[in-house]
């Protein structure tokens, strides 16, 4: 009888613990942030075309993360190779298993030109082949986002 009671008690303890974990919504890296007032990626692109710089929150899906230590990631873009995301003052890094996750970024976006050398460095960090890296021969103008905080939504 004692064994049955212990099994039932353990079951309830585990199931209540699982319910608590389900109630937690998102994990924040860096400065605490929420999804309130976050704009979609296409809105960010429009705002950058008009103003050249955007300060605020952006919501999107992660398509790549630095394989070395999570020191950068890329956000899915409506057109292009993705938006490069770096972290303010390198105060935090991201887990490498968040590709496909939706996130909210809080920070500053701007148009920038990435040198061939830096593109090759990022390609190495992403685990690209030597042949793919050698194809990089010209600087690239792209959106760069410096995040002070990242909220992983799912």
Instruction: Reply yes or no on whether the pLDDT at 4 is more than 90.
Output: no
Sketch the domain layout of the chain as residue ranges.
Answer: 26-152
The CATH number for 26-152, chosen from 2.40.50, 3.30.1360, 2.30.30, 1.50.10, is 2.40.50
Over residues 43-64, the mean pLDDT reads 91
| Per-residue pLDDT tens digits for 98-128 | 999 999 999 999 998 989 999 999 888 888 8
Alpha-carbon torsion, ordered 24, 27, 34, 68, to 10 deg:
-170
pTM reported for the whole predicted model: 0.74
* Of 145, 142, 148, the residue nearest 54 (C-alpha): 145
Could you write out the DSSP letters of every residue in 29-46? EES---STTPEEHHHHHH
pLDDT, the chain, mean: 84
Q: Which residues does 96 contact at the CB level (< 8 Å), separation at least 6?
A: 65, 66, 67, 70
Over residues 55-72, the mean pLDDT reads 92
| Per-residue pLDDT tens digits for 8-37 | 444 444 443 333 333 346 899 999 999 999
């Amino acid at each position: 009888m004692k064994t049955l009671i212990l099994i039932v008690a353990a079951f309830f303890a585990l199931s209540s613990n699982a319910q608590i974990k389900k109630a937690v919504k998102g994990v924040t890296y860096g400065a605490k942030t929420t999804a309130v007032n976050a704009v979609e990626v296409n809105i960010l692109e429009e705002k950058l075309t008009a103003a050249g710089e955007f300060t605020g929150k952006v919501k999107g899906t992660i398509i790549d993360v630095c394989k070395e230590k999570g020191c950068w990631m890329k956000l899915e873009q409506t057109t292009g190779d993705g938006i490069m995301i770096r972290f303010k003052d390198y105060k935090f890094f991201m887990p490498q298993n968040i590709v496909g996750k939706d996130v909210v970024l809080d920070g500053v976006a701007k148009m920038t030109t990435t040198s061939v050398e830096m593109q090759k460095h990022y390609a190495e960090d992403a685990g690209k082949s030597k042949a793919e890296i050698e194809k990089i021969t010209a600087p690239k103008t792209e959106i760069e986002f410096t995040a002070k905080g990242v909220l992983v939504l799912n």
